[in-house]
Structure 1
Amino acid sequence: MRAELDKRAMAALSSGHLATDFANGALPALLPFFVDKFELSYTLAAAVVFASAVSSSIVQPLFGLWSDRRGAIWLLPGGVALAGIGIALAAVAPTYSLVLVCVIVSGLGVAAFHPEGSKFAAFAGGRRRASAMSLFSIGGNLGFALGPTVATPLVLAFGLAGGLLLALPCLAVAVTLLLLAPFLGSFAPDNGRQIQTDEPDRLGALMLLLGVIAFRSVAWFGLITFVPLWEVSLGHSKAHGNHLLSLMLLAGGVGTLAAGPLADRFGRRPVLVASSAATAPLILVFVIVGGVPGAIALAGVGISVIATFGVTMVMSQEYLPRHIGMASGLSIGLSIGLGGVGAVALGAVADSIDLRAAMYVTAVAALVALVLAGLLPSSRSSRRLAAEPVAP
């Protein structure tokens, strides 16, 4: 294992993560415009997020399995390009069904990038794996924050046709990753060798962690889906709601910078439990109090939730050390996809009761995540990963 973190490689991988999640993050900002254009209910609006979650998350373990068995560095530029093209076409789709198709295409690009990107981040991070995952994650956090920040003024200025411009930064990053593919490939184990370890896979601990991520994601997807719509329901503008969404996401990026080094120093589990404990109370402050205190609380939610994305990714790889691509696909993909399913259920709650009730359910989901996090064992291993020969 490399001793030091390679900054050039991490910059490239983090940029790719930024671009894919930029496309993904533009979707919540487009939702209010889709609601107006197609006269959607809350359930149908949440179904768009669900389509994105399924295509971008649930299939990620399959890409992770492919990555572990064969390696597929071309998924890095290919995934970024597909994510950007899909969301751009979704903005100009003439029917609701075509919006869903384009969102699914974009989601598949996101799914293709993440397992391979997180695996190479682990390779390039050396012994500072949690710090490397934080750097990788912050690219995604910033991208998700920039998505609504860029998408909203584009649509306000040019109509939904302005969404076509969302593809440009993704395509630029895709070309860069394509050119850097030989350099990034040098961090993988030598040809004919794969990552081996004496540490066993701990499937029970991994399943418990996936439960934490799933309930955390129910709360998270609920917020990114309904924060803009919640503000509109209170009489504020669509731009105001999207600005609050961007605040939450940008604050999370700041938290990510601290979470990785803290997890390397004090342990993954204590950082995860502490951040989980803050989430539900902060959601309640946002919903019940609102105003400036609510905006500050929403920023706190961003810090407490987003900051642990990289931590849980590292924990999944340490619980499943023999299959880190699969572990990444499961932690980012399947469990987050289940959170997207939860977002549809929250949409049904909003339609059948009201939007406030749905926001309260997000706080309950965060509490369940806290309980499960408290049951997790330590993820640190006593032995280091090493590359060993594999018989042809």
Structure 2
Amino acid sequence: MWISPYKYILSLGHLCSDINQSILSAVLPFLIATYHYDYTTAAMLVTVSNVFGAFVQPFIGMLSDKKNKLLYMTLGVLLASGGMAVTGFISNFFGLWIVVIMSGIGVAMFHPQAAKLFNSVPSKNAKGKGMSIFSFGGKVGFTLGPVYTAFLMNLFGMKGTILFLIPGIVFGIVCSFFDKDFENLDVLEVEKKEEVKSEQNDDWSGFIKLCCVVFSRSILSNGISTFLAFYFIQQFSKSNSFASMLLSVFYGIGSITFLGGGIADCFGHRKMVRLSFCIFLPAIFIFTNTSHFVIALIMLIFMICGESLSYSPMVVLEQKYIPNHTGFASGITLGLVVSIGAALCPVLGYVSDAYGLNYAFIIMTIVCAIALACSMLLPNVEEK
């Protein structure tokens, strides 16, 4: 199955964008240690970053449905990196709000346009595999973020955050060489849109049901990425640096999302989504109820597999349910719905402060069961 080289460039952009999201989660323990924030306050930084970005993505998606603009992506990645780069120079909490909001908006500007371009680039009979390449870039970014953060914090202290600018600069330079190539994809998109309109109508009911699954998965992904480090620090007496490195393991193993799309191409994207939550649910249940470090690590691996394998198939399904509005679909599912899920992080933070981190993971276990139930309601869609 042939995959266009432009998809690898977009995957690089996904890396440079999403590394900032994992950097935010990884830097929280250092912010807590430096400024003595509680869990709820720290979680609020994740929330404001995602919520403000959420309301940008659908509008960017609608704009990208009209015309592809590489500027949305490059400026977005630069904003995302720039926001995180100044976090180490601001001690005022509301100042931190502003810069993480700027970073979140930057991430939001990247995703709808990138997903739209991915749908425009030809990849016959390899939709899932192509989207897996895109998601793999994001997973690599998430993986490198905590490692990069721990390295800079240990070497330079909080002032080392200025080097978070590097990924944004790298992607900006790469994109400068391919601006005209990506603009030419407008022609392919127009031709593809006319073809799809004549073959398939939008299934908004199926899309809404998929949004429910994405919403539940978002709560799980954001909850785990935000509180996983704290959980191992509190439950198993691990150091801040170890817990930060564990986040990299979490995101690194999550790179098996590269396999999810290819498998889904063979057996069906809807089946892959269901299977992923069938793996996720028992794993997070055991993880939450064990006091053994090794068992927790093993279950964490299964949790990562369940969380990661669902990503690419869900992105493909969203574009199949409403094929005439792929940019808007990406803005909603990759942006608004995901960010609404992230908005519940302070609730989990409040529960953690009041009752302990274990209760936050109990809530996430219930959410995982809801995600599995919702995935069973997804309607079938013809695989093309």
TM-score bracket for the superposition, by shorter chain length:
over 0.9
Letter in 1 for 2:67: R
Secondary structure in 2 matching 1:323:
helix
Letter in 2 for 1:376: L
Q: Show the counterpart of 1:169.
A: 167
Deviations 1:268-303 (A, max 9, x none): 011000001111221233333241221122122122
Letter in 1 for 2:263: L
Letter in 2 for 1:149: V
2:139 matched to 1:133?
no
Deviations 1:85-118 (A, max 9, x none): 1111123222111111101101111111101111
Deviations 1:242-279 (A, max 9, x none): 122111111111x2121111111111011000001111
Q: Distance in 2 between matches of 1:103 and 1:211?
A: 26
Q: Show the counterpart of 2:185.
A: 187
Q: Distance in 2 between matches of 1:303 and 1:74?
A: 34
Deviations 1:361-380 (A, max 9, x none): 11111110000001101233
Q: Show the counterpart of 1:105.
A: 102
Gaps of 5+ in 2: none
Q: After TM superposition, which residue ranges in structure 1, 4 or more long, deviate above 2 angstroms?
A: 55-59, 184-194, 284-290, 379-382
Q: Show the counterpart of 2:314.
A: 312
Q: Distance in 2 between matches of 1:110 and 1:191?
A: 23
Deviations 1:61-103 (A, max 9, x none): 1110111123322112111111111111123222111111101
Q: Distance in 1 between matches of 2:294 and 2:355?
A: 27
Q: Show the counterpart of 1:329.
A: 331
Deviations 1:189-240 (A, max 9, x none): 2597672323111111111100001011111111000011112213210111
- C-alpha contact 2:68 2:117 (8 A) present in aligned 1: no
Letter in 2 for 1:270: K
Q: Distance in 2 between matches of 1:92 and 1:229?
A: 24
Moved more, 288-297 or 219-228: 288-297
Letter in 2 for 1:157: L
Q: Show the counterpart of 1:207.
A: 208
TM-score (norm 1): 0.92
2:351 matched to 1:349?
yes
- C-alpha contact 1:124 1:132 (8 A) present in aligned 2: no
Deviations 1:163-208 (A, max 9, x none): 1111112211121112212122223325976723231111111111
Identity over aligned pairs, percent? 29
- C-alpha contact 2:10 2:134 (8 A) present in aligned 1: yes
- C-alpha contact 2:18 2:141 (8 A) present in aligned 1: yes
Moved more, 145-154 or 173-182: 173-182
Moved more, 39-48 or 11-20: 39-48
2:264 matched to 1:263?
yes
Deviations 1:334-377 (A, max 9, x none): 11011111212111211222211011111111110000001101
Q: CA deviation at 1:131?
A: 1.0
The root-mean-square deviation of aligned C-alpha atoms, in Å, is 1.7
Letter in 1 for 2:108: A
- C-alpha contact 2:279 2:305 (8 A) present in aligned 1: no
Letter in 2 for 1:356: N
Moved more, 328-337 or 193-202: 193-202
- C-alpha contact 1:91 1:99 (8 A) present in aligned 2: no
- Return closer, same or farther for 1:125/1:152 CA change in 2, 3 Å cut-off: farther
Aligned residue pairs, count:
378
TM-score (norm 2): 0.94
Letter in 1 for 2:227: F
Letter in 1 for 2:75: G
Q: Show the counterpart of 1:147.
A: 145
- Return closer, same or farther for 1:151/1:230 CA change in 2, 3 Å cut-off: same
